[in-house]
Structure 1
Amino acid sequence: MATNDFLPFATAGGANVLPQSEWNALAARLSGYTAGVASSAQVNKGLRQGSVAAAMLGQFIVNRAGLDALDDGSVTNLLAAFEAAYRKQATNYVATVGGTANALTVTLDPAPAAWSDLAGAPLRLRITTTNTSTAVTFSPNGLAAKAVAYNDGSLPQPGDLIGIVEAAYNPTADVVQIVSFSRSASLNTKRSQITAERGSSSQLTGDNIITRVTNYGAITPAFQGGSSFAAGVLTIGPADGGLWFLSGYCRQEFSTASGQAVYLYRNNSIVLASDGGPAAGGAASKVHSNAARVVSLAAGDTVDMRLIQTTGADFTFNDLYSFSAVRIGA
């Protein structure tokens, strides 16, 4: 076991040391002792303050680096040991993460009394069992569990948290934010996104009526911030506000002269983008329309894709149509 040679002086109960209030007011504390006889209590007070600080430094080296703190008169050796202990930052490294895959627990030493003790402090966690859910929590020393999220508010994908993960408590958002992690591949999967395609469905529309597409046969959602998609409407979740790329596409064959267009709507009233054109009619007469836009969306905003046709009668879109959205930034 490592040794600490730097021991505290005059720390026993009732030790002969000057009270702190008298030490604060002592003129010799500033000027130093001059000729004459110094009070033993005054001398002991100065020796205790220096020795306690030295003992604390030596114990830090022993506890956090596992190295000896030797009183061999070498400043170089003591400094090297201190720098080694500081570099390891063992106080913030947790080699054993407990709990479950999605409810992480750790025991920190010294133990935090409240979450405020950890505000902004980086913690490096060695996780051996990866998460299986986007809903992950973290609790140190029995404190109330906090949600784990990325800096942009999105949630970790299953499999993201493995190996050495660095996190810090954000008191403003009241979440444990992931600062760095081991799986670089998740950078490409953790953003909220959705693709909805016609599949085997179809969409009936009236003549010259802008109609929301509600029938999608193949929907692939991957939401991180509480967003949802239902009845053809994307609703932005509480942690998904920011820049989004939106795209609506339609390809349809018409047997008579007609036209079609694709619209992207926000909040059921604002046209974000549109694109369309005429069809001359005939077996090979197909119209392609593609509306796209990058737009800032807030929590609670809704987005949907709509179609219009001018055949002069009801018409069913049954060739190809799709709606895509991906959050690209804060």
Structure 2
Amino acid sequence: MTQQNDFLPFAAGGSANVLAQASYASDPATTNGFQTGVAKSNHANKALRQATIMASVIAQFIIKNTTANVIDDGTLTTIEANLEAAILQLASGRVIHISDVINLQTTLNGLLSITGNAASASKLASVFNLALTGDITGGANIDGSGNVSLATTFAKNSDRSLAQNGWGWTASGLLEQWGYVSTNYNGDQGLVSVTFPKAFPTNCFNIQTTDIIPSSGGYGDQFYDMYSQVKGSPSLTGFTASLQAPVGGSAGNHHYAFFYKAIGN
């Protein structure tokens, strides 16, 4: 069905009696309108044609981009709503780049702060590198387009000794040391000095000893059942262990052994 456009151009024919464009542009009436008296027909026709052609073009735009008719019934709201619908329909699905609009980029550069936040963006304009330094190292390039995973290396993993008397670092920065002590002495008590496999850089927080109980033997045997305690405060390089025989133990030449574990930083 053919849509209806009631807004028709006036004096648009090839032989229409209209004032030439140059004369119309210089005519005082173009600025001030027709004053009192009789308006020349070619002057009036020119003014009417300019107005009606634009009205007809707008009406035809509505028809082209909607299914509505454009009726001259004096109803402004209907025509206005149909014009808005026509504009939205034409704009739907179109991508207009900033560079396509003359001088738009220059205007935006003058209005927008280069240090402001973007309303939305798929990624950052410049890639930056996030790097971890210190005991844990690693890094990744970030452009804001998605999450990243950092492959890290615990540097102090290379500073360790997994021997019977050894040490190692924890991820929290603690230095753990361990060892085995074996000694012989006469009497029911004595002292033994223990040197750590590695000196603590700053602090020795705690030392624990574990006595080794022989699987056989008794009083007078070289594997005499003893117990150990840390004597005094440890240093960064070692500690002193106090060895004590149980009540009732006899003096003599005894062999004693224990494990220890020390924690510091």
TM-score bracket, shorter-length normalisation: 0.3 to 0.5
- Give the alignment's TM-score, normalised by structure 1: 0.35
TM-score (norm. length: structure 2): 0.42
Higher helix share: 2
Structure number with higher strand proportion: 1
Structure possessing the higher radius of gyration over alpha carbons: 2
